């Protein structure tokens, strides 16, 4: 029997990673699809009249085994992949796309769902049940259930092709990241680089049996080099390699894939009766329409642009005075920003890193979760893991009841994509009277320990860890009946609130004194450094805001229009960036060809969500600041109305229940230093 198709006998019902063989996946998927199909047939063939329980609930609980297999497989395809897994992903994705279409285009099933939906006013449903019914009905109507047969077949073909193209896009980006190495053999080329970064580069070279030092496009290698390396020509080389991923007119080129994805999404939206892909997506978002998104982005742009221009002018003067640089380029950005920041605030990551040993920062996140939400984290070694570096925890509440299983995976590997993310291996739900608790994971790419030093985080990495941990809390504290409404299954422009709000605690003296201790002396971070962290928090906020807005505008430029006339990816991108451009363009670089958020992940027509959620998080944290950052009453309200409710109710309704009013954009502008603090 294939272990993936069985009920796991592991403790806490965790994934039995060590017992899964790669060749198990494809047959497991096929068997899981067949089982899920038979569960759908049972619903459709039920002789009883359609009801909420025998149709809507039954549908939400169906396919549990298949969902579990998918979670395990696709999470590993991101965090611990190889050529075999990537090949299986290409085979499996069309099967899953086809199965998804089999459900949404099943006329008998849609008839039953529609019958229940049409009688909803007489059913006396709870808020959560009403939301589930609405969501299930829309999942059919928004995905082709009302189409004529020939158009349904068109939709199937589009979805199948899209699933394969998105995978191929991601594979190309990962391959490009892995293949580039900058091999340095002279120590002078590492001038300016902190000792820890040098040691890591040497260790990496040794691991590949090479002399000298290796710099790669993995963030823990790339970011320190771009920030500290004095050799401008090498920074340029590295920057151009990073910026040209998927844009080299070779077998890993993504230009055609980008055009195909954009056009297929547009055709799909048109087929379903929507003007563009963005119109289709935003119907199920807080922002509602492309017009509102563009207005939101442009309003922020208007506020941020003067500050950004002013910051850039000062940075230009600084670089000119310091090194006679006549024209600042993109590969100068991090380098001179860091030097200016050190001059203005006498603060740099090398002063801070000794206070942010990875283990201490993890513990700090746990302490914050305990003080706010009463959670306890116990590291355990009785849980199977997919890689030896993964840490595993049992999470309990103040009564000792299991809340969640938590996995944490912190270091770069060749089989792991860049960036940081939170995911789930098992959702929370209440089924047959039992509250099934979730299995949550966060995956990051932080600097590995070296022979002489533990893993010491930059302050940016500290906020990244808290960000992903905020997402994890959203998953762990889920407490809903239905799996499709649980945890992070919320409107996409609401999902970043729990993650972004938690970053705020990193800047607070009360928090930092709990965990920021020197890794050698155990001295608590000095007050003067805390003051400098706070003072520098809005450093170059105008330029940072402009950068985020440019990504949101690029996303909308691909998805809020008819893309059929776009022939040149680079030219289109240049046009989209024209209103936010500060640095000269680099002709060999293109962002779209490696913009995995929108062409591989789930952020198409949704990149604006980061800024949208920043408005929510700034407003929410002002409430905490007013009452005390560890105030139990505010924390309980946040847990009750935001973290535990998942997608059971409209997010603005939930937010107002927590805050007592709608969020105020001015809170974000105040925090960013773009308007006066009150």
Q: Which residues are catalytic?
A: 468
Beta-carbon count within 10 A of 106 CB: 19
CA–CA distance, 281 with 274 (Å, rounded to integer): 10
- HSE-CB at 659 with a 13 A cutoff on CA atoms is 20
Phi-psi region of 593 (alpha: psi -120 to 50; beta: other; left: phi over 0): alpha
DSSP 189: G
Q: 182 - beta bridge partners? A: 215
CA–CA distance, 667 with 655 (Å, rounded to integer): 15
Q: Which residues contact 115 (CB under 8 A, 6 or more apart)?
A: 49, 50, 55
CA–CA distance, 587 with 358 (Å, rounded to integer): 38
Within its chain, how far is the Cα of 22 from the centroid?
Answer: 26
By the 10 Å C-beta count (0-12 exposed, 13-18 middle, 19+ buried), 282 is classed as: buried
429, 371, 387, 380: which is closest to 405 by C-alpha?
Answer: 380
Q: Which residues contact 207 (CB under 8 A, 6 or more apart)?
A: none
Phi-psi region of 2 (alpha: psi -120 to 50; beta: other; left: phi over 0): beta
DSSP 56: I
DSSP 22: G
CA–CA distance, 361 with 517 (Å, rounded to integer): 10
């Amino acid at each position: 029997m294939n272990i993936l198709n069985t009920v796991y006998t592991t403790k806490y019902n965790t994934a039995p990673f060590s017992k899964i063989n790669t060749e198990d996946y494809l047959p497991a998927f096929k068997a899981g699809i067949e089982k899920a199909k038979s569960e759908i047939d049972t619903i459709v063939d039920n002789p009883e009249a359609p009801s909420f329980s025998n149709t809507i609930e039954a549908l939400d609980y169906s396919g549990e085994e298949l969902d579990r297999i998918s979670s395990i497989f696709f999470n590993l395809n991101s965090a611990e992949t190889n050529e075999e897994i990537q090949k299986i992903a290409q085979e499996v994705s069309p099967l899953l796309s086809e199965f998804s279409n089999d459900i949404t285009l099943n006329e008998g099933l849609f008839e039953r769902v529609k019958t229940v939906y049409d009688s909803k006013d007489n059913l006396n449903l709870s808020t959560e049940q009403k939301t589930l019914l609405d969501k299930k009905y829309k999942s059919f109507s928004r995905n082709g259930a009302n189409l004529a047969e020939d158009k349904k077949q068109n939709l199937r073909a589009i979805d199948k092709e899209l699933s394969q193209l998105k995978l191929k896009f991601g594979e190309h980006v990962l391959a490009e990241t892995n293949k580039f190495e900058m091999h340095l053999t002279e120590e002078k080329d590492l001038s300016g680089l902190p000792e820890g970064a040098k040691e890591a580069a040497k260790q990496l070279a040794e691991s590949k049996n090479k002399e000298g030092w290796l710099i790669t496009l993995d963030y823990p290698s790339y970011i320190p080099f771009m920030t500290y390396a004095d050799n401008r020509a090498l920074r340029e080389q590295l920057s151009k390699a990073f910026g040209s991923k998927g844009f080299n007119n070779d077998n890993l080129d993504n230009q055609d894939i980008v055009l195909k994805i954009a056009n297929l999404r547009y055709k799909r939206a048109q087929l379903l009766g929507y003007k563009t892909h963005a119109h289709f997506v935003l119907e199920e978002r807080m922002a509602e329409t492309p017009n509102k998104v563009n207005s939101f982005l442009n309003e922020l742009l208007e506020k941020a642009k003067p500050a950004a221009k002013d910051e850039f002018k000062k940075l230009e003067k600084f670089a000119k005075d310091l090194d006679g640089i006549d024209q600042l380029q993109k590969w100068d950005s991090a380098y001179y920003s860091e030097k200016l920041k050190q001059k203005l605030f006498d603060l740099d990551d090398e002063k801070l890193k000794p206070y942010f040993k990875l283990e201490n920062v993890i513990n700090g996140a746990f302490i914050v979760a305990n003080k706010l939400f009463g959670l306890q984290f116990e590291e355990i070694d009785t849980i199977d893991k997919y890689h030896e570096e993964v840490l595993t925890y049992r999470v309990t509440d103040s009564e000792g009841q299991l809340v969640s299983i938590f996995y944490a995976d912190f270091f770069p590997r060749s089989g792991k994509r860049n960036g940081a993310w939170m995911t789930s291996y098992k959702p929370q739900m209440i089924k047959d009277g039992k509250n099934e608790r979730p299995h949550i994971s966060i995956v990051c790419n932080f600097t590995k320990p070296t022979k002489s030093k533990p893993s010491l985080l930059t302050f940016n990495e500290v906020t990244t860890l808290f960000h992903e941990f905020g997402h994890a809390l959203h998953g762990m504290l889920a407490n809903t009946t239905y799996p499709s409404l649980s945890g992070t299954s919320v409107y996409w422009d609401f999902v970043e609130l729990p993650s972004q709000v938690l970053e705020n605690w990193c800047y607070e003296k009360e928090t930092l004194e709990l965990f920021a201790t020197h890794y050698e002396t155990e001295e608590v971070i000095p007050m003067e450094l805390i003051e400098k962290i706070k003072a520098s928090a809005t450093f170059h906020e105008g330029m940072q805001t402009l950068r985020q807005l440019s990504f949101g505008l690029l996303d909308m430029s691909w998805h809020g229009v008819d893309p059929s006339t776009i022939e040149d990816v680079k030219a289109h991108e240049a046009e989209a960036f024209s209103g936010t451009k500060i640095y000269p363009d680099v002709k060999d670089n293109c962002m779209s060809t490696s913009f995995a958020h929108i062409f591989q992940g789930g952020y198409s027509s949704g990149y604006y969500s980061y800024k949208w959620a920043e408005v929510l998080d700034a407003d929410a944290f002002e409430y905490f600041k007013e009452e005390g950052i560890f105030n139990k009453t505010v924390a309980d309200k946040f847990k009750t109305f935001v973290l535990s409710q998942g997608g059971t109710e409209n997010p603005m309704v939930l937010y107002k229940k927590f805050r007592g009013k709608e969020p105020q954009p001015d809170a974000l502008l105040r925090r960013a230093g773009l308007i006066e603090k009150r």
